[in-house]
Amino acid sequence: MDKKPYLFCYDYGTGGIWYYFRAHEPNDVRRKYPILTYVEDEPTWLNSKEKERMLAETFDVDVPPSSSPRLEILKRAADEYFASLGERVLPPR
C-alpha cells in the first residue's frame, strides 16, 4: 500500500501548527506524534494555493525528527507533554 498525505494539527493552546504527513494511515502518524490531531475534513481556510504550499512541505512519517526543525519541535513538545503526566501514561510505541 502506498503512502498518502494526511493533515494534522498541533494545537498549542492559542493557535495551531498544521502539517501534512505522508503515511500508510493516520494512526502511523499518531503513534509517532501522539500530540497531533488528525484532521479528516480540511478546514475552510485551506484554499488550493495554501494546500499546494503545505503539500510541498509534506513530511514522511518514517523520517527521523532530527531531519527537520519543525519535527524536532513536535518531538520536544510530545516529550514535555508525557513528562508532565509522570507515570500516569506511557507514550505509544
- Least confidently predicted of 11-20, 64-73, 83-92: 83-92
CA 23 to chain centre: 11
DSSP 14: S
φ, ψ for residue 60 (rounded to 5)? -85, 130
The answer to whether 19 and 10 have CB atoms below 8 angstroms apart is yes
pLDDT above 80 for 93: no
**Res 65: pLDDT:** 86
- Model confidence pTM above 0.85: no
The answer to whether 37 and 11 have CB atoms below 8 angstroms apart is yes
Q: Which residues contact 90 (CB under 8 A, 6 or more apart)?
A: 82
The model's pLDDT over 14-46, given as tens digits with 9 standing for 90+, comes to 888 899 999 999 999 998 888 899 999 999 999
Cα–Cα distance between 45 and 50 in angstroms, integer? 9
Cα–Cα distance between 75 and 78 in angstroms, integer? 5
pLDDT above 70 for 87: no
